[in-house]
């Protein structure tokens, strides 16, 4: 099956269409060591230009977030006064601080607002359920930028075109693992079939809870959220806002069908009023 547009086709998800399973990322932040190997591998494989080598003064984070030139961004969140070893279940606690590290990436939403608003078809849904930008078709309109509830998509100053993670579409099409997951030394970034990843993530959360890490939670895994579930979801050790993630993301084009219906009804009402007024003036 070739590429298709719009939200994930239920027939494909149900197995009624001969298509590859939906693929995705599960990022377990509890084992992220902040090495940035994922950032380097992503840039190297996708030939992404540097983003300035900035010194931001935010712990060891010199990326600052996802941009057109940073498709993976490792966040370093320092929390002073947190008993780091106790939070990890260690018998001897040491009141100090802890780092919360997370490698952020495009979520490859089930209901993708960026895909809905793209006027050229540059953004498309692949046979793996991921969302990819075809840079040779992008006209730089920028509609996709505000349409993303996660603030992922960005345009390069040099050419104005939109860029973001492709989940290494070229690699997974050849049966390879995405570059970031391949380079991750702790398997914090895991790639595979989305259904299997969700089951694995649920088991991981249960294990952490058994070891006293009650704050462990999943983010973006539920199909009942505002984007229909993410193709790249996370295990977090604190509230989403701490990591710079929206607590309740909603696809920005959610109300478009109702808006078009109401606009159509309004247009029909106006047309009917004009007709009635015109006929009423006839002798």
**Residues flagged as binding site for [4Fe-4S] cluster:** 32, 35, 38, 42, 106, 109, 114, 118, 138, 141, 144, 148, 165, 168, 180, 184
Q: Exposure of 47 by Cβ count < 10 A (0-12 exposed, 13-18 middle, 19+ buried)?
A: exposed
| Binding site residue list | 32, 35, 38, 42, 106, 109, 114, 118, 138, 141, 144, 148, 165, 168, 180, 184
**Structure tokens given for 210:** 């058994």
The dihedral sign for the CA sequence 260, 264, 265, 267? positive
For 11, 80, 129, 263, the CA distances from 243, given in Å and listed in that order, are 35, 15, 26, 39
């Amino acid at each position: 099956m070739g590429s298709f547009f719009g939200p994930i086709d239920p027939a494909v998800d149900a197995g009624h269409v001969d298509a590859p399973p939906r693929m995705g990322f599960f990022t377990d932040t509890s084992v992220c060591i902040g090495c940035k190997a994922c950032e380097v591998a992503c840039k190297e494989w996708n030939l992404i230009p540097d983003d300035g080598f900035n010194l931001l003064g935010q712990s060891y984070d010199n990326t600052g977030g996802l941009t057109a030139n940073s498709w993976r961004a490792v966040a370093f969140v320092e929390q002073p006064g947190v008993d780091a070893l106790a939070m990890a279940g260690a018998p001897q606690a040491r009141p100090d601080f802890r780092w919360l590290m997370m490698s952020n990436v495009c979520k490859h939403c089930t209901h993708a607002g960026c895909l809905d608003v793209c006027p050229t078809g540059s953004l498309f849904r692949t046979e793996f359920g991921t969302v990819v930008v075809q840079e040779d078709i992008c006209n730089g309109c920028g509609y996709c930028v505000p349409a993303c509830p996660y603030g992922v998509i960005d345009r390069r100053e040099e050419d104005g075109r939109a860029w973001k993670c492709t989940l290494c579409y070229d690699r997974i099409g050849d049966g390879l693992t995405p570059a970031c997951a391949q380079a991750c030394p702790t398997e914090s970034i895991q790639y595979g079939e989305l259904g299997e990843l969700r089951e694995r993530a649920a088991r991981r959360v249960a294990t952490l809870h058994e070891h006293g890490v009650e704050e462990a939670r999943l983010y973006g895994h539920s199909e009942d959220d505002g984007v229909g579930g993410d193709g790249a979801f996370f295990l977090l050790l604190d509230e989403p806002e701490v990591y710079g993630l929206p607590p309740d993301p909603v696809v920005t084009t959610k109300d478009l069908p109702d808006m078009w219906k109401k606009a159509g009804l309004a247009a029909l009402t106006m047309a009917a009023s004009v007709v009635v007024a015109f006929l009423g003036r006839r002798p």
